[in-house]
Amino acid sequence: MGIEEADMRVIVRLLGETASLSGGLMNKKLYLLDGLCDLAGSREWAWSLASTNAKMESFFVRRKIGESFDLPMELTESSSASSLLESIPDRAFSHLICCTHTVNANTESKIMLLRDPKDPAYSIREIHLASLVLDEIPWLHWRDWKTPAPSLSKLSPRLQWTMDLLLLGLGRKEIADKMGISEGTVSGYIRSLYHQFGVNSQAELMHLRLQDPSQS
């Protein structure tokens, strides 16, 4: 399936702008995925790295574009973002574009473009444009230029779940509600995570995930 010249131009312009950015891979990735969100009429995007041999290991970055809205049903009802991600087939749902990329023998990267459920479903054209970029630009799925293989931290399932929710920007109370446990327990998990990653706040933790390793 081909694409129209006007669409080709928009993609070339976006990629050209991305190429002109200074900064490292993460900087370019943020810019390109934000631009792709605009292009496909998505409201936010998510990126995950999951190890295929140890199911619960995952890495999850997400960024909101514009105003916030409730998480899509699929995400809120899931027991964990990482296990949910594994169950989403490529480009499956009417409000979700998902692209899976094999980074190396045991690591898989997924990038999703999410649309507000209140908005109309993705059109074939939008899915086509977005997947063209997601499929053809391998570094969108990498952590840094030199070593596409990610360094995943080993976390227990509970800690991983907490981590996923923290990275989604949820508060302590919301996390407790979602996991069906007390706020006190969540606090314990969070302390343990902060310690493990050497940070003092959720913002720092989220920032850490967005940072380019080559810059730090």
Pair of tokens at residue 133: 């970029």
Smallest gap from residue 140 Cβ to another protein (A): 8
Query: In this chain, which stretch among 6-14, 41-49, 72-80, 98-106 interacts with another protein, using CB under 8 A?
Result: 6-14
Tokens of 91: 């480009």
Does 124 help bind another protein (rule: CB under 8 A)? no
- What does the per-residue mask of binding to another protein show for 142-161, with x meaning CB under 8 A? ---x----------------
Reading the block at residue 17, the tokens are 């702008």
- Select 40 or 133, whichever has its Cβ closest to another protein: 133
User: Reading across the β-sheet that carries 44-51, which strands appear in turn?
Assistant: 58-64, 44-51, 107-114, 96-104
Task: Return the amino acid letter for 21.
Answer: L
User: Interface with another protein by CB under 8 A: which range of 99-107, 132-140, 151-159, 174-182?
Assistant: 132-140
* Other Cβ atoms within 10 Å of 114 Cβ, number: 24
User: In terms of CB distance, is 117 or 213 closer to another protein?
Assistant: 213
3 state SS of 214: coil
| Out of 26, 28, 88, 162, the residue judged to bind another protein by CB under 8 A | 28
SS3 22: coil
**Residue 162 backbone phi and psi in degrees, to 5:** -60, -45
| Of 38, 77, 136, 177, the one binding another protein by CB under 8 A | 136
* Cα separation, 66 vs 49, whole angstroms: 25
Q: How far is the CB of 90 from another protein (least distance, A)?
A: 17
Instruction: Rule CB under 8 A: choose which of 121, 139, 183, 204 binds another protein.
Output: 139
Full DSSP string of 185-200: HHHHHHHHHHHHHT-S
Stretch that binds another protein, among 22-30, 104-112, 148-156, 201-209 (CB under 8 A): 22-30
Distance from the first to the final alpha carbon of the chain = 42
Q: Is 171 in the site for another protein (CB under 8 A)?
A: no
Q: Cβ contacts of residue 186 below 8 Å, gap of 6+? A: 162, 172, 175, 176, 179
Q: What is the DSSP secondary structure assignment for residue 55, as one 8-state letter?
A: T
- Per-residue x/- marks for another protein, 33-72, CB under 8 A? ----------------------------------------
Please report whether residue 6 would count as binding another protein according to CB under 8 A. Answer: yes
Q: Which residues bind another protein (CB under 8 A)?
A: 1-6, 8-9, 11-13, 15-16, 18-20, 22, 24-25, 28, 32, 132-133, 136-139, 145
